[in-house]
Amino acid sequence: MRYEIRKARPEDRDALAEIRVAAMRPSLEDAGRYDPVEVKQRLIRSFVPDETVVFEKDGTILGFYVLNDEGDHLYLNHIYVDPTFQGEGIGSEMLGHAIELSNKRAIPIRLQALKGSPANQFNKTNGFVETGEELYNIHYERPPDDIG
């Protein structure tokens, strides 16, 4: 699939929040924690366009990720694909884009995923190692690739 990769714009905020709600719904329902208002508001409260990368095709947002620079590591705060486009490799492409940035900086990427979410297997398949857990989430880290 061909798509454009761009930084988010302020006007993308609500559409990205809706994608987050739709993408997280099954996992949060399974965990008994689905609150669509809170799921949407969490993204809205923390939205920083310059930290948000959007994958788009023909004006339609396919998915996005948020990568925070924490100095000694990158923190993948969000990565979501619109459910309409899941299963087409977009999530892998988005993660690959973030991993390239990690490799260029020679620092790891860290993230967390909801226990019981399919994201956990996705993370492990893509080289993330579990580093801990808390009540609802599992923490992961992926070192940069040895490229030199």
pLDDT at 147: 60
Q: How confident is the model at residue 1 (pLDDT cuts 50, 70, 90)?
A: low
Indicate the pTM of the whole model.
0.89
C-alpha triplet 10, 123, 46: angle, nearest 5°: 25
Average pLDDT, the chain: 92
Sequence letter at residue 1? M
Q: What is the tens place of the pLDDT at every residue in 3-20?
A: 899 999 999 999 999 999
Q: What is the tens place of the pLDDT at every residue in 91-146?
A: 999 999 999 999 999 999 999 998 888 899 999 999 999 999 999 899 999 999 98
Q: What is the tens place of the pLDDT at every residue in 64-83?
A: 999 999 999 999 999 999 99
- What backbone phi and psi angles, to 5 degrees, belong to 115? -55, 140
CB distance 67 to 36 below 8 Å: no
